[in-house]
Amino acid sequence: MQPLETGDPEWIGPYRLRARLGAGGMGQVFLGTSRDGTPVAIKVVHPGLAHDGRFRTRFRREIEVSSRVAGPWVAAVVDADPDAELPWLATQYVRGPDLGTVVEEVGPLPAGTVHALAHGLTLALGAVHDGGLVHRDLKPSNVLLDTDHPRLIDFGISRAVDGTRVTSTGVVIGTPAFMSPEQIAGEDVGPASDVFSLGSVLFFAATGRSPFGDVAPVVLMLRITRDEPDLDGLPDALRDPIAVCLAKRPQDRPDPATLGRMLGPLAGSPGGWLPPAVAALAAAPEQGAPTLLDEPPTEEVAGRRGTNRRTVLVTAAAAVTAAVAGAWGVSALTAPQPAPAPPAPHVRWRIPFSGAVGVQTAWAADDRTLYTTGMNRDVRALDATTGAERWSADGPADTLVPHGGVLITAAAGMLAGFDAGTGRRIWDMGRRPSPDSQVDVSDGTVVAVVEEGEPSDVLGRPINVVGLDAATGARLWTGERYEFSGGLRVVAGGGVAAYCQDGRLVVRELRTGSIRWSAPAPTAAVVAATEDLVLLGALTALESATGRQRWQVGWPARSVIAAGGVLLEEEGRDGESRVVRGLDPRSGTALWTTPPSRVDTAPVITEDCVYMALRDGSTCAYDTATGVLLWSRGGGTPIAAHGRVAYLAADGELLAVTGDG
């Protein structure tokens, strides 16, 4: 990063320029900030290209296409003006160092880091190709290493620039060490060319050299087109995936999704994927980073900004920029502003509570009642307005799900429905639910796993997935029978029931049980179903209508629910801190992330709020749509919630609190 030079513009569109980030084939790259301080990388076209009408046409088309590319693995386009005197393109700003710099300063990366890098770049290339683009310049300097995961940059301009250059001068644009054979030959290139470049980039990350040797560019280009790569020094686990990427014929290379499957699952979570020396480099403040002043734009600038400008704006990506900027630590670029203290919630009622939270085996709430079970597994219903007991009923119950005036209870020996208002037992299934499997309820339908029939194996259990009417308990459908010795997770939502069994993902119509579609899923578990998506634990989103993959972000999800127009994803295991992310359901882009919870608690999520007990001892509520902190109080463990009313266990009391006053 370098200071601005004499003659550099002060503003580009609505962005004030702060520093020079570098230069490329199309022009100059600047660091800019929006009016609210959000940093962006702004690529300003070279004057020689700006006066080329053919370039402007291509540039405009590329902006339109690349604006459809979003996700956590790319630096997405957030704004552009192809009709400006000097056309420009603004993308998310990523502070991390590029892969080339890291390998030069630190050395080759360990196998685990290269494995994680490979996963991230396959997902990035998948997003680029799904958007109708071919990157055509995948190289180490276009791969940035953020502390959370890698990001691919410059995917939105390469075709426009290269197309103009080739047409006008016949020169092939690219970086020789990372070009594909067909690119060197001057042939038309497609997505497979990017896969070849990816193989070279991953080999470089693991070894610090090219698989075709460190020789003069002209010799290197001949070797790429004629010779087989030298893969000595490559970790065994990476040898086959990288070798197939470097196949000479494009049709012999895998697509990014296939390559991701070849790489196998990641070990651990994305956090901490970088070795310590690289993580320190990624987290260190950049040399030359300016201290920015919180200056509102002048009326003159604001007026100029509103005229003669056609903008391509990716709304979701812009939101991501603001949210991720804080996670990157780029708030250091703005003058420090003291955050206002969040308000404390209003206590609606409090009653004595002598038991430990863990002794109460289940909690649930609806608009009128807080439901709980105790050590004897009987059910108690407390009035949501006063905390007074409304009714109690015999169990056993380990799971409580209120739905449409009926409280569904499940345990190893019982699946029943109670009148939520009176506690009267309405129905009892009369069959034994599988003790280590889940029950889910949606749209008046209970989906459960039950044991029926005699086992054919001494270690097995004969089980069926069934659909029941929530109001009456009547059986609506019965799925195929399995011999099973473990737990089976079923989810209901968006008009479907979904589960993974015997290596297949099965998606059924919720009320009839007819199979909508099924697909191989050898290691997956279903975590959620929404109106549009079925979500697997890897976190992969499939279209609920067809099973087609919409996006994949690669980190493991504990649970996912749809609320507030976003997907709320909880990550973490028992005994560990957990975080909740708000994801854009269209792309999987992380819009916001909560701080980590205490290790002994789990978040409670509703349509309106996420409630969490944090490591610092506070209990907080966050808006599901925006991630904005709504209120905070000292102490307390969230145990249940409905809407904006949360129930906390704190200091021998049970409290009902709300931020609405």
Note whether 624 and 610 are within 8 A (CB).
yes
Cα 261 off chain centre by: 18
Residue numbers in the known binding site for ATP are: 43
Return d(Cα 273, Cα 328) in angstroms, integer.
Answer: 15
Q: How does DSSP classify residue 34?
A: -
Determine the angle formed by the axes of helices 256-263 and 236-245, rounding to 10 degrees.
170
Catalytic entry in 79, 98, 137, 608: 137
Whether omega for the bond prior to residue 402 falls within 30 degrees of 0, making it cis, is no
Give the whole-angstrom CA distance, residue 471 versus residue 479: 20
Judging by beta carbons within 10 Å of its beta carbon (0-12, 13-18, 19+), is residue 325 exposed, middle or buried?
buried
Contacts for 657 with CB less than 8 Å, ≥ 6 apart = 345, 346, 347, 348, 633, 636, 645, 646, 647, 648
Beta bridge partners of 433: 450
Residue 574 annotated to the active site = no
Q: Tokens 């109001």: give the residue.
A: 471
How far is Cα 473 from Cα 526, in angstroms, rounded to an integer? 24
* The token pair that represents 315 in the structure block: 């709304």
Specify burial of residue 108 (Cβ count, 10 A radius: 0-12, 13-18, 19+).
Answer: middle
Tokens 């590319």, residue located:
69
What does the alpha-carbon distance between residue 409 and residue 428 come to, in Å, rounded to a whole number?
10
Q: Which long-range contacts (CB under 8 A, 24 or more apart) does 582-585 make?
A: 582/624, 582/625, 582/626, 582/627, 583/553, 584/70, 584/316, 584/319, 584/320, 585/530, 585/532, 585/533, 585/541
In this structure, what token pair is assigned to residue 407? 């409280």
φ/ψ of residue 278, rounded to 5:
-75, -40
The total number of residues shown for the chain amounts to 661
Active site residues: 137
